[in-house]
Structure 1
Amino acid sequence: MVPRAAWAAGAPPTPNRMAFIFFPNGAIMKDWKPEQAGTDYKLPKTLAPLEKHQKDFMVISGLAHDKARANGDGAGDHARCSAAFLTGVQPRKTDGADIRLGRSVDQVAADVIGKNTRLPSLEIGIEAGRQAGRCDSGYSCAYTSNISWRSETVPTAKEIHPKAVFERMFGGGVEDAKARARRNFYRQSILDVVTDDAAKLRTKLGGSDRRKLDEYFQSVREIEQRIERAAVESQAQIPDFEVPDGVPRDWAEHTRLMYDLMVLAFETDTTRICTFMLANSGSNRSYKEIGVGEGHHQLSHHRDDAEKIEKLQRIDQYMITQFSYFLDRMKSIEEGTGNLLDHSMITYGCAISDGNRHRHEDLPVLLAGRGNGTLTPGRHLKYENEVPMNNLYVSLLNRMDVPEKSFGDSTGPAKGLDA
């Protein structure tokens, strides 16, 4: 809504966005990883659908997730893959209620910048999941169904229904907006009374109690700011976006619709942080629409069978084709002197590389966008020695103005992202 001349003058500042897209069961790495490093590299077969976007993303090789390895816990690599993907923490091996992991990178960022948007973060997916029960070799389904974790024991459940995602973003229409306005009116009235009483009380308190009262009113002020934002948001028109009532049967249609919603969330500044699971970890979905009738997980244990490897590569490329569509959409949204992708950092990857042998090093990872000018895409960034994936996350957090020096098993910020 700001005139283009104002952008050219350097105002207002453009927000940075951060998203994480997870795919299961690893990749056929010979068709994923480029042979050359640097800018002069040829896209391998699986990444071919991204050719028109080659200057807009980095292929990053040499990253690892040590906490997705067994480390004495035995089988269960798929559960550890999704559990460690955004946390860098070894999950407690249990299929009971005593799950324990760690906070995910998206929620660390949401705690700091989430107060600036209607939703602190958005979690979406394609496959329904479970928060209890056994799913992988003694690991709880909570580990295989989620990549976002609000705390050590509370996963942030994803939403797979497009309409539910849209309504979470923008509400259920006029009546919902009226109900929100009524709630906010009474909340503000209560805050006014409390603030007046507290001001009188403060003159009678000692230093320690005044500090406690100040801490309390800091949280009160945050509520007031949310109400103020809600008043502005209520005047904004709900986007004209057609959303089906159910879940599309076609995987590609469902996936593209969820990508569209992610673009809409970033474009409207409804949130600046999103996670997207293209499937649950260890998913055994078949992809008959591209001629693959066997289950994905079943095929991933290919034992070097050429026919199975070819089908797995087809699945990898099918998913990349949808990711290319997402980048198309992001680049189509003009913002300031660039586009939405220029002001975003999109991580696409998995915490398993070779699904047949359950390898957790040299992971398949793409990083799209320019992060408001802090990233230099258009190249293959190749780390020669094993580098923790969480080093990348420290760097992304810092680019979101979240001043974390470490995360998970990181050893420092990732080098070379800005060339």
Structure 2
Amino acid sequence: MSTHHFSRRTMLRGLGVTMALPWLESVPVWGDTPKASSPGSEAPVRLGVLFCGNGFHGREWWAKGEGKTLELGKVLQPLNDLKQKTLFVSGLYNAEAQKGNIHSSQTGNLLSGAPLASGGEIRSGTSFDQLVAQKYGQSTKVPSLVLACEASNPSVHKNYSMLYSSHISWSSPTTPTPLELYPALAFDRLFKDEVQRGDKSVLDAVLADATDFRKDISTGDQRKLDEYLDSVRDVEQRIDKAGKKGELQGWRPTLAKPNMDRPKDGIPQNLADHMRLMCDIMVLGFQTDTTRVCTLKLNNDHSSLRFPHLGIDYMIHHLLSHSDTADWLKVNQFFVEQLAYIAKKLDGIQEGSRTALDNTMLLFMSSMMNGSHDNSQLPAVVVGGGGGRIKGGRVLTYRDKPNRQMCRLYLSMMDKMNVRPGKFGDAGEMLNEV
């Protein structure tokens, strides 16, 4: 590889491995023609959606002010350092979700605004993240990365399938997009040609190609490449370490047969570690342009997660949501910390004159305002610049305005990625202020 060609994308290749490179100023990674005044290409816009079920603390989800005077309620305190890149949107709602008034009927169409079938039947609508993925699917290795930290629930609750509570991303009206619960498999999907555990690390497989490629890029890009490869190695090592402890899929057994009864179904690892690995994998997916669309379902609506790492192990998430206690606030902040972690990592990745966060839209939301099932207005914040097209440090309020469909926000976000269906869900126009 003494000479590299950049007709579409730049990859490092090795046996069974294809690794996309991060945005580099000295090479036109996305196929742009270099200009004398601007030798690099413009990084793509990415879309990330993070979902937290059961709403938030009834008195502490708020924002007011603008710019440097923007104030955030206690739930959103982890975003304090990112206020200038945060857009707080209030008062939007989903009309179809108000028909059932239970968790599953309020969640299954959160990203589509489509009518839901009841009676245990499965029918929703294609979610907006998947419309974006359909456009960019031919440009990236993984059209859409759909991650989760709580397993799907296939039961029926009050005449509605609980699959609605377990899936926010839908590939078609009858097909919830499959969830990836295991960090190791999500990591493999990004970097390996076949999703299976191998003995050789991703970096080891592409090391020769990376060494050769490094000779042809600028000193600044060499540093960026080294930082990027170090971040890939860090995730690999953490997954491998967790696997040796028997915490993640791909673990190495130390016994020929079990020496204890089969434990209850569930994800057998520390919740905080699980979420953090998924956050890192989302960042890597965006940083490498292996995917431009990712949804991360931190938990289900009607969630059964517990939080012993917070000292809160006496009640599951769903029951906690029915009382505005200090513990409930602590749990809320834990979820927002995941958003802040992703945003800060992206903001530390320079892509020309902007950061990766400036080129990303991170939508954080729930399908109800609080645990009393209030979905007359839905909580939503957007962190990131959408390729320089979204101004942060603002509060947009639509509570007493007409045409306050949540799908109008989706139309606005799709527009930032040049996806313009004209109409989506129950909305026919964008939110011009976004």
Q: TM-score range by the shorter chain?
A: 0.7 to 0.9
1:149-298 pair list within 5 angstroms: 149-171=170-192, 172=196, 239-240=232-233, 241-242=235-236, 243=239, 244-245=242-243, 246=248, 249-292=269-312, 293-298=314-319
Which of 97, 103, 107 aligns to 1:82? It is: 107
Residue in 2 that maps onto 1:23: 52
Deviation at 1:416, TM superposition (A): 0.9
Whether the 8 Å contact between 1:342 and 1:373 is mirrored in structure 2 is yes
Q: Distance in 1 between matches of 2:95 and 2:358?
A: 31
Match of 1:407 in 2: 424
Equivalent residues of 1:39, 1:380 under 8 A apart: no
Give the superposition deviation at 1:312: 1.7
Equivalent position SS for 2:347:
helix
Residues 369-414 of structure 1, C-alpha deviation per residue, up to 9 Å, x if partnerless? Answer: 1011110011222224251111000011111111211111114101
Q: For 1:117, give the aligned amino acid.
A: T
Question: Which region of structure 1 is more displaced relative to structure 2, 375-384 or 269-278?
Answer: 375-384
SS, match of residue 373 in structure 1:
coil
1:327 aligned onto 2:343: yes
1:93 correspondence with 2:114: no
Amino acid across the alignment from 2:44 = P
Amino acid at match of 1:388: Q
Instruction: State the 1:38 CA deviation.
Output: 6.6
Q: 1:282 to 1:87 in 2, by over 3 A?
A: same
Counterpart residue number, 2:377? 362
| 1:3 is the counterpart of 2:25 | yes
Q: Which residue of 2 aligns with 1:116?
A: 139
Deviation at 1:156, TM superposition (A): 0.5
Structure 2 residue runs of 5 or longer lacking an equivalent are 1-22, 28-33, 203-227, 249-266
Query: Structure 1 residues 37, 340: CA separation in 2 closer, same or farther (over 3 Å shift)?
Result: closer
CA distance, structure 1, for counterparts of residue 382 and residue 24 of structure 2: 29
- Name the CA shift for 1:291/1:175 in 2 (closer, same or farther; >3 Å): closer
Deviation digits for residues 52-107 of structure 1, max 9, x if unmatched?
1111111111111222112xx4x5x2102221211111211122xx3111101111
Q: Alpha carbons of 1:33 and 1:249: their partners in 2 closer, same or farther (altered >3 Å)?
A: same
CA distance in 2, matches of 1:46, 1:176: 39
Amino acid at match of 1:280: N
How large is the Cα RMSD of the aligned pairs?
A: 2.5
Following superposition, the deviation at residue 139 of structure 1 comes to 1.5
Residues 1:129 and 2:171 are matched in the alignment: no
Equivalent position of 1:381 in the other structure: 396
- The share of aligned pairs that are identical, in percent, is 31
Contact 1:374 1:399 in 2 (8 A): yes
> What is the count of residue pairs matched by the alignment?
345
- Post-superposition Cα deviations, 1:325-371, rounded to whole Å, max 9, x if no partner, equal 11111111121222110100110001200222x11133211101101
Match of 2:363 in 1: 347
Of the structure 1 ranges 263-272 and 347-356, higher mean CA displacement relative to structure 2 is found in 347-356
Which shifted more, 362-371 or 41-50?
41-50
**What CA deviation, in whole Å up to 9, does each residue of 1:129-185 have, x standing for no partner?**
14x432x222113211111111111110111100010111111559999xxxxxxxx
Q: CA deviation at 1:324?
A: 1.4
* Normalised TM-score (structure 1): 0.77
**Residues 54, 371 of structure 2: 8 Å contact kept:** yes
Query: Retained in 2: the 8 A contact 1:49–1:324?
Result: yes
Deviation digits for residues 8-62 of structure 1 (CA, Å, limit 9, x no counterpart):
6174232110111100001124211124467632121111121111111111111
TM-score normalised to structure 2 length: 0.74
Conserved 8 A contact 2:40-2:352: no
Which residue does 1:55 correspond to in 2?
84
1:416 aligns with 2:433: yes
Q: Distance in 2 between matches of 1:53 and 1:35?
A: 15
Relative to its length, the structure with more helix (as a share) is 1
Alpha-carbon contact 1:334-1:340 (below 8 Å) kept: yes
Note the residue ranges of structure 1 that are not aligned, 5 or more in a row.
Answer: 178-235, 303-307
Partner letter of residue 64 of structure 1?
Answer: Y
